[in-house]
Amino acid sequence: MTKSQPIVLIAEDEESFIEALSVGLKREGFLVEAARDGEEALQMFEKHHPDIILLDIMLPRKSGLDVCREIRAHSRVPIIMVTAKSTEIDTVVGLELGADDYISKPYRMTELVARIRAVMRRTPSSGTEELEGDQRYEVGVISMDPARHEVFVRGDLVKLPLKEFELLEFFLSNPGRVLTREQIIDRVWGPYYAGETKTLDVHIKRLRGKIEQTPSDPTIITTVRGLGYRLEIPR
């Protein structure tokens, strides 16, 4: 099988969606595989090694949430979760499934394709993965080794889901600088991110919960009113 065309695995139980997506994505140059339930999604993931997964949350036999968790246990393949309502996104983000992006029905084909391309750009496929060298970060009580995907806070290893890890990495590479909401969203979620801007606040809150001594009165990642956030350099 040639890998010149990226493979999209659609996990979706509504036949009309599958048809529309297949036609639209093929026209954009993707190869499309479709799974009709969660179990089949896992089987097809193993069989086809897709470059990206478009994963509906409400699936028969096994929910998209469980499918995402199971795939994330051993793979960093890009996953875009599909919710039935935009109001569900915060809840889903809060579950820390490790998905790369979220989109809610109904969505436009152009928006979906932009999101797929953005997520794929941010995720180097295996084999072309950039060498991260010995780049490590140490700011105050936090140290990070991106190559090993490890974060230590006050000497303790802290487990962070992918998005929180990337968020913290962006702060660590810009210590003391105010980062605007737009810059952060652009960097961590990609320039075509059009989801809820509350997503950022949810992630900041979760990250603070893990790194701050008093998350309600943060001293590491502080809010700069009207602008964004800053990683403070301790004096």
Q: Kindly indicate which of the ranges 12-20, 97-105, 125-133, 153-161 contains the residues binding Ca ion, using the contact rule CB under 5 A.
A: 12-20
For the CB of residue 44, give the shortest distance to Ca ion in the complex, in Å.
Answer: 16
For the CB of residue 6, give the shortest distance to Ca ion in the complex, in Å.
Answer: 23
Q: Kindly indicate which of the ranges 55-63, 107-115, 117-125, 188-196 contains the residues binding Ca ion, using the contact rule CB under 5 A.
A: 55-63
Binding flag, residue 37, Ca ion (CB under 5 A): no
Q: How many residues bind Ca ion (CB under 5 A)?
A: 3
CA angle 62, 68, 72 (to 5 degrees): 135
Assigned token pair, 232: 């403070």
Binding flag, residue 56, Ca ion (CB under 5 A): yes
Binding flag, residue 88, Ca ion (CB under 5 A): no
**Distance from C-alpha of 94 to C-alpha of 65, rounded to nearest angstrom:** 12
Residue whose CB is less far from Ca ion, 84 or 233: 84
Residue with smallest beta-carbon separation from Ca ion:
58
Binding flag, residue 13, Ca ion (CB under 5 A): yes
Residue whose CB is less far from Ca ion, 106 or 133: 106
Binding flag, residue 63, Ca ion (CB under 5 A): no
**Distance from C-alpha of 48 to C-alpha of 228, rounded to nearest angstrom:** 41
**Distance from C-alpha of 56 to C-alpha of 67, rounded to nearest angstrom:** 10
Q: Of 22, 39, 58, 173, which lies in the binding site for Ca ion, with binding defined by CB under 5 A?
A: 58
For the CB of residue 94, give the shortest distance to Ca ion in the complex, in Å.
Answer: 20
The conformation of residue 126, written as its DSSP 8-state character, comes to T
**Distance from C-alpha of 173 to C-alpha of 139, rounded to nearest angstrom:** 9
Residue whose CB is less far from Ca ion, 58 or 202: 58
Edge to edge, the sheet with strand 31-35 lists: 31-35, 7-11, 52-56, 79-83, 101-104
The conformation of residue 125, written as its DSSP 8-state character, comes to P
For the CB of residue 59, give the shortest distance to Ca ion in the complex, in Å.
Answer: 6
Edge to edge, the sheet with strand 228-231 lists: 178-180, 228-231, 221-224
Q: Which residues bind Ca ion (CB under 5 A)?
A: 13, 56, 58
